[in-house]
């Protein structure tokens, strides 16, 4: 297997810095069927057929039976399979260690289990760039469990002394932390987990019960590593786990706070949802009938704080960077990459575009996002030591424009009520406080406000996937061009609505989008488009 499958970041000067937080898929891709062209040369993917696939794509050469199940990951989606699992697979493939096998756990849907179990938990990752693509079968996942079917087995797995790390991609809203950062104990499933610790329903019920069993058995605790796309995700994981434990037992909560490591991490790799058409294309090109392949970009980064409670995985040998404090890396990534995704997702959708590469092919939008990053966001950032922000931004523009990925805008537009407060509004708030330029940040927010009405500028319907969808849509339509009803939603905007002059600026930007159109408004507010970097 090529060790270059996980490439070093291009022209960044350091390895650092996802997309998105993962979500568990709710339904598998449909069967390929026998009517696919060349079906006779397409073979199922499992341990018995690996030798049939090795001539067309990279396959594991290590002994999968020797893998030790040391990592348990909650909520296995496309991103986890394109990112964290690939790093652990590389650890085994390079002969560094077989001691870090991974077990997946689903909480909400059996779809991933149903796809992976017949394949012996093997799956295909295809990297696509403008220059071509390459594919690899990943073998480091040793098992998968759908927790609602058998919570006792998952608890036994977590309590097993071989389990050394638990990782999470449960989305930012999955941590149940309010605006104060305190754990929300009112959820019915949380109350169930407190009453019935032996059959939990939530990730925190599983983690806390398993940690209690380990404590009572005298076993060291596992580390809890959040891979979700949120500020100080390790602190969020700690607050949620300790907060839940406190509902059960104050002594247990103190033991967890003192003994369990919750390193923050930053993860980055664009991984769109796999379509049935892409699955069929993978089958035709590589001859592999994979129920759920993953399509991704060449770029991949993972930065983790060097704090573990039960041994550190040797991920630094395969490109992961361990650091003392991930804060500056995280801030750089969320405020440049993720905020730009928000801005381009909403504005591009309003203009009738469907994918990120289409948006970047338009010089108006490409110039807008370059200037947004250069003029309004970068001056607010403390750069990580030894990191070249100019090269990082150039790399971002190239990734956004990758036509081989064609990252769909609907994916970028999901969960705006949680994404904006984490990724975009902090820069806007800081720029307002410091009286710095912020017209392009304001325009990005105006794009979201206008998007919430539910149609693009040609009247075509726009999807709205958000936990607050009904409320946000009602507020947006009630206000029309006036954003003040939405600004009153403090769970999203905090006190931004009371900042002198901001409501009027936002109102004017929304009116401009309606009056002049999206592209003209973006062009007018980008007075000197930054030269596109090639």
Tens-place pLDDT, residues 325-369: 999 999 999 999 999 999 999 999 999 999 999 999 999 999 999
pLDDT band at 24 (very low <50, low <70, confident <90, very high): low
Average pLDDT of span 125-130 = 94
Rg, C-alpha atoms of the chain: 23
Q: What are phi and psi of 135, to 5 degrees?
A: -130, 155
Main-chain dihedrals φ then ψ at residue 175, nearest 5 degrees: -85, -10
- 3-9+17-325 and 328-524: same fold? no
Strand partners, 146: 106
Which residues, other chains included, contact 405 with Cβ-Cβ below 8 Å and sequence gap of 6+? 128, 270, 272, 295, 296, 297, 356, 357
Indicate the class that CATH gives domain 3-9+17-325.
Answer: alpha beta
Domain ranges of the chain: 3-9+17-325, 328-524
Pick the closest to residue 233 from 181, 278, 272, 193 (CA basis): 181
Residues 491-502 pLDDT 10s: 999 999 999 999
Distance CA 419, CA 341 (A): 10
Query: What is the 8-class DSSP label of residue 175?
Result: G
- Residue-wise pLDDT for 30-49, tens only, equals 556 555 555 558 999 999 99
Please write the tens of the pLDDT for every residue from 411-458. Answer: 999 999 989 999 999 999 999 999 999 999 999 999 999 999 999 999
Q: Which stretches within 270-315 are classed as H helix? A: 276-286
The Cα–Cα gap between 326 and 317 comes to 19
* Strands of 33-148, DSSP E: 43-44, 69-74, 101-106, 123-129, 132-138, 141-146
311 burial (CB, 10 Å; 0-12 / 13-18 / 19+) is: middle
CB 518 within 8 A of CB 444: no
103 close to 141: Cβ distance less than 8 angstroms: yes
Instruction: Please answer whether residues 421 and 371 qualify as being in contact, where contact means their C-beta atoms are separated by less than 8 angstroms.
Output: no
pLDDT per residue as tens digits for the range 69-85: 999 999 999 999 999 99
The percentage of the chain sitting over the pLDDT mark of 70, rounded to a whole number, equals: 91
Report pLDDT for 35: 54
Confirm if 303 and 69 have CB atoms less than 8 A apart: no
CB 18 within 8 A of CB 229: yes
In contact, 123 and 77? CB cutoff 8 Å? no
Q: What is the dihedral of CA 464, 465, 470, 471, to 10 degrees?
A: -100
pTM, whole model, 2 decimals? Answer: 0.86
Length of the chain: 534
Q: At what angle do helices 425-433 and 439-451 cross, to 10 degrees?
A: 140
- The closest alpha carbon to 170, from 230, 121, 221, belongs to 230
Q: Among 12-21, 313-322, 380-389, which is the least confidently predicted range?
A: 12-21
**Phi then psi dihedrals of residue 209, to 5 deg:** -65, -40
What's the whole-number average pLDDT of the chain?
Answer: 90
CATH number of 328-524: 1.10.1040.10
The arithmetic mean of pLDDT across residues 234-263, rounded, is: 97
Query: Confidence class of residue 176 from pLDDT cuts 50, 70 and 90?
Result: confident
Can you tell me the mean pLDDT for 266-288? 93
Give the Cα separation of 341 and 289 in Å (integer).
Answer: 33
Please tell me the distance from the alpha carbon of residue 439 to that of residue 525, in angstroms, as a whole number. 7
Contacts of 317 by beta carbon, 8 Å cutoff, 6+ apart: 91, 94, 96
Q: Which of 348, 345, 370, 343 is nearest to 445 (CA)?
A: 343
Which residues on neighbouring strands pair with residue 167, listed in sequence order? 73, 225
HSE-up of residue 120 (Cα within 13 Å, Cβ side): 14
């Amino acid at each position: 297997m090529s060790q270059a499958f996980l490439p070093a970041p291009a022209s960044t000067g350091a390895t650092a810095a996802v997309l998105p937080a993962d979500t568990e898929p709710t339904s598998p891709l449909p069967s390929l069927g026998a009517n696919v062209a060349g079906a006779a040369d397409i073979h199922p993917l499992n341990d018995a057929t690996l030798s049939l696939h090795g001539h067309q794509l990279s396959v594991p050469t290590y002994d999968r039976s020797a893998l030790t199940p040391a990592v348990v990951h909650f909520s296995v989606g496309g991103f986890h399979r394109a990112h964290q699992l690939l790093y652990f697979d590389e650890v085994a493939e390079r002969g560094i260690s077989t001691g870090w096998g991974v077990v997946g756990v689903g909480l909400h849907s059996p779809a991933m289990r149903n796809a992976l179990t017949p394949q012996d938990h093997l799956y295909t990752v295809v990297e696509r760039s403008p220059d071509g693509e390459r594919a690899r079968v990943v073998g480091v996942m040793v098992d998968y469990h759908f927790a609602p079917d058998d919570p006792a087995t998952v608890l036994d797995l977590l309590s097993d002394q071989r389990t050394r790390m638990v990782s999470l991609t449960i989305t930012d809203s999955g941590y149940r932390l309010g605006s104060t950062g305190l754990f929300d104990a009112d959820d019915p499933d949380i109350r169930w987990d407190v009453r019935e610790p032996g059959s939990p329903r939530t990730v925190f019920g599983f983690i806390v019960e398993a940690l209690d069993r380990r404590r009572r058995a005298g076993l060291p605790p596992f580390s809890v590593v959040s891979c979700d796309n949120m500020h100080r995700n390790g602190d969020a994981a700690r607050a949620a786990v300790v907060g839940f434990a406190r509902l059960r037992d104050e002594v247990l909560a103190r033991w967890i706070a003192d003994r369990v490591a919750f390193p923050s991490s930053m993860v980055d790799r664009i991984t769109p949802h796999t379509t049935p058409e892409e699955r069929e294309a993978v089958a035709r090109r590589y001859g592999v009938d994979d129920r759920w392949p993953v399509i991704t970009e060449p770029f991949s980064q993972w930065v983790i704080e060097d704090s573990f409670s039960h041994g550190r995985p040797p991920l630094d040998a395969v490109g992961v960077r361990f650091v003392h404090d991930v804060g500056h890396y995280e801030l750089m990534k969320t405020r440049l990459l993720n905020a730009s995704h928000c801005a381009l997702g909403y504005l591009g959708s309003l203009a009738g575009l469907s994918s990120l590469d289409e948006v970047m092919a338009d010089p108006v939008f490409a110039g807008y996002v370059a200037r947004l990053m250069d003029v309004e966001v970068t001056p607010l950032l403390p750069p990580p030591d030894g990191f070249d922000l100019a090269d990082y931004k150039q790399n971002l523009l190239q990734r956004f424009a990758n036509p081989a990925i064609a990252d769909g805008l609907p994916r970028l537009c999901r969960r705006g009520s949680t994404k904006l407060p984490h990724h975009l509004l902090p820069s806007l708030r800081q720029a307002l406080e410091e009286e710095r330029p912020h017209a392009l940040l304001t325009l990005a927010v105006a794009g979201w406000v206008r998007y919430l009405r539910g149609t693009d500028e040609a009247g075509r319907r726009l999807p709205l996937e958000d936990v607050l969808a009904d409320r946000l849509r009602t507020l947006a339509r009630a206000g029309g061009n006036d954003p003040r009803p939405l600004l009153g939603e403090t769970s999203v905007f905090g006190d931004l609505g009371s900042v002198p002059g901001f409501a009027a600026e936002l109102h004017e930007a929304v009116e401009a989008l309606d009056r002049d159109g999206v592209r003209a408004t973006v062009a007018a507010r980008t007075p000197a488009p930054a030269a596109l970097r090639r």
